[in-house]
Amino acid sequence: MELFEALKARRSIGKVQLDKEVPKELIEQIIEAATWAPNHHRTEPWRFFVLTGDGRKPLGETLARIAAKGMDDPSTEENQGKLEKARKNPFRAPVIIVAAVEPSEGDKIILQEEYAAVHAGVQNMLLAAHALGLGAVWRTGKPAYDPEMSKQFGLSDKGEVVGFVYVGYPDMTPAPRKRRAVSEVTKWIDKE
């Protein structure tokens, strides 16, 4: 696949075939692509957790616990429905790759650069999934950044989940996408 074609054609695929297993070798290729992302001082601050089958249940329970913390009364029928939906979220794809940052220590280490490296890694993962004929979507939101989520994956006090990459074989055709013209978002500075 030609690079510029891949960059323009890749889409977030939120609906995938739930009954079609993704081979472990393809997931490993996707994660390896992430590890080739640029990272200042070669810290390699990324950590990945692959959830499949019943391995997705603990994530669902954690999502439900986090959601319950924001409710006045989690026991109402409406809120119980919301908690059940949170429990089921990890089952929207056969594979979830949890991407996390585990910042390095050192005087030269800048925290934002550690996060930037993992974010670049996630972009590589999305492009790799697309190149392999898979659908993927990067999901984030407040629950990803809750300290309970970091605890769920055994991260340090400084570590944090940066998102969940849901992966599977596409079960949708995404709509065409438009972007603003480069001229609208670029300012050339060629004089003092």
Cβ neighbours of residue 57 closer than 8 Å, sequence gap 6 or more = 90
Question: Residue 87 annotated as binding?
Answer: no
Question: Residue 119 annotated as binding?
Answer: no
Using the structure block, give the residue that is written with the tokens 């934002």.
112
Q: How does DSSP assign 56-99, residue by residue?
A: GHHHHHHHHHHHHHT-S-TTSHHHHHHHHHHHHGGGGSSEEEEE
Question: Residue 179 annotated as binding?
Answer: no
Question: Residue 10 annotated as binding?
Answer: yes
Question: Residue 140 annotated as binding?
Answer: yes
Using the structure block, give the residue that is written with the tokens 């391995």.
55
Question: Residue 156 annotated as binding?
Answer: no
CA distance 168 to 125: 13
The annotation places the binding site for FMN at 10-12, 40, 138-140
The annotation places the binding site at 10-12, 40, 138-140
